[in-house]
A and B are shown apart, each in its own frame.
Chain A
């Protein structure tokens, strides 16, 4: 059935050498699509000296176009300035379909617009949740409405994200597919030897910013350390709220019970994770939390806040959910500590191998591509009326 091989252009401002959810998603998805026989080319902006054409594993061709990022890794938006290079790449690589990632990426919006003008079929993946009320979100939603007014198909990473995207952009729900992220279980294996149970180690790895709930950590950690004398914390990651955590550590004299590692490079994340029993995630909003998948793949029991798409990510026996409230989180940690004897990391890891798989994600994405390419072409007049009416 799926004998048609596509030539796909992945576009985003966020790619290697940056590390993050979107970057990993694009990389792993491209690798699995290459294995399925398609050709994949990635378009992104130059990172420092890394500019020009590079080849990555498996023959993945990456165009680092020499534009300077101006705000949070985004290219400066010149609406027509990007057209020549995009057209050159599209024609030279004989692309059949363009796949853009992340609503916050200006390069993605511009490329999708130009690709639609040239008549290519376009797929868009949204990785984040946005609100509706503050100035930044209103602006973002307007831009998104314009871009998504005539995208061929859209993909969201969780069902909550699909609801959010449909409300923000006015797309009909049938056009939006839900294909979650996955985790590289070969890289995130549990420790060879199981950890002793006399001291319980809780691991936190996240950027220490407001959005990721660092303030909740400041309230929760002293309370848990007070209630359970045998619990130790390892906090990895850096950010503006690190100062508050250090102050909390000084105030309650928890220097020997809370270890602050600073920024953890991606290659060392596994070694930090396998030194713990429980993974604590306190974010205030999350479309799909890959960190939880990595922790579960390493055999840790997860305690997380019930926000966004997190309740859909893991089965109920692998995660303990709590409201984003310090007392509820302490309660959840207590429950996790009591369930801990029943958890076998190797069993959890094997289950994760069956639950999440990048090859499965690539096959489902391929179905979306096939559907998109079967859609009828649209004339310019139809496209303009759709943009103006912003209708479905």
Chain B
């Protein structure tokens, strides 16, 4: 290999340059790996370091919603067994509606009279519609056997829990960040269909109306109310969730022992085991970024 050395050059004739033009660089093979190889690689740039306590606090939202769904199922069971009669159910509905409104009014910073009137109008339309349609729901599933109803309801509720949007609310309050996506709409629909199926097993029209009102109230508005509470004050949210969990556990214990054990197991799994697991497997996260990445556009594409 002939090379021209200048008088005071070091051993290598010229420095290797990271360029593609000019053919083979003299003195270097094509597979030469320089010290600057992979110099621009950035690892784990966007990874958030998680804290166990914060993750456990965030998982409280999930267990709170789980308890709400359990309470709804409890009310259904009591209604189907005729332990709860229609008048007490109606009373329960009205008190829930009232307390929901009060919480909304208290926690919303800029609630105008116009918006409140809007809410009241919508709720009254909704209730009237339900009352008018109650006879249809009563006879809807008369030809279907009870076993199929229980099986379908449970699968729909599982689907609802699986696809539910735990961070926000499908019914958008004012000022919410993101649009509802497909999975949250599917979960809402699943819960509504499950309530219709259960309501259709009840004896009288008033029963049907009261149960439908109760279930739809909870499934449509409970995420909104809990979202408003969470936005208002995190401590209030934690207290509310713990209170809800205690109430659920008491009622389930008085109903059936095995269900109680199951519920306790699920709550421990969601609140303790999952956060620990998440933090353990985060050590393996390996995110690679570098000059080879596709550039991200900094503006939104509006069609």
Please give the residue numbers on chain A whose beta carbons come within 8 Å of chain B beta carbons, in ascending order.
129-133, 157-161, 163-164, 166-167, 173-180, 211, 215-216, 219, 244, 284-285, 287-288, 305, 307-309, 312-315, 324-326, 354-357, 360, 364, 367-368
Contact = CB atoms under 8 A, between A and B. Distances in A.
A285 B293 contact: yes
Contact of A284 (B30, B38, B294, B301): B294
B30 A179 contact: yes
Contacts of B31: 173-178
A362 to B, nearest CB: 12
A255 to B, nearest CB: 21
Given A178-B20, A288-B20, A161 B294 contact: no
Given A287-B292, A308-B291, 11 more contacts: A159-B20, A163-B38, A163-B41, A174-B33, A180-B21, A284-B297, A285-B292, A309-B20, A312-B21, A364-B23, A367-B30
A312 B38 CA distance: 15
A324 B296 CA distance: 8
Central interface residue in B29, B31, B287, B290, by most chain A CB within 10 Å: B31
Given A129-B292, A364-B30, A158 B23 contact: no
Interface of B: 18-24, 29-31, 33, 37-38, 40-41, 287-288, 290-295, 297-299, 301, 303
B290 A164 contact: yes
B59 to A, nearest CB: 26
Contact of B295 (A157, A177, A285, A314): A285
A132 B285 CA distance: 12
Most A Cβ at <10 Å: residue of B18, B23, B288: B23
Nearest to B33: A173
Given A163-B41, A163-B290, A312 B295 contact: no
Contacts of A173: 31, 33, 37
Given A159-B18, A173-B33, A305 B24 contact: no
A207 to B, nearest CB: 15
Given A164-B290, A180-B21, A288-B20, A215 B295 contact: no
A244 B37 contact: no
29 contacts: A131-B294, A159-B20, A163-B38, A163-B290, A163-B292, A167-B288, A167-B290, A175-B31, A176-B31, A177-B30, A180-B20, A215-B297, A215-B301, A284-B294, A285-B292, A285-B293, A285-B294, A288-B20, A307-B294, A309-B20, A312-B21, A315-B19, A324-B295, A324-B297, A354-B22, A355-B21, A355-B23, A360-B24, A364-B30
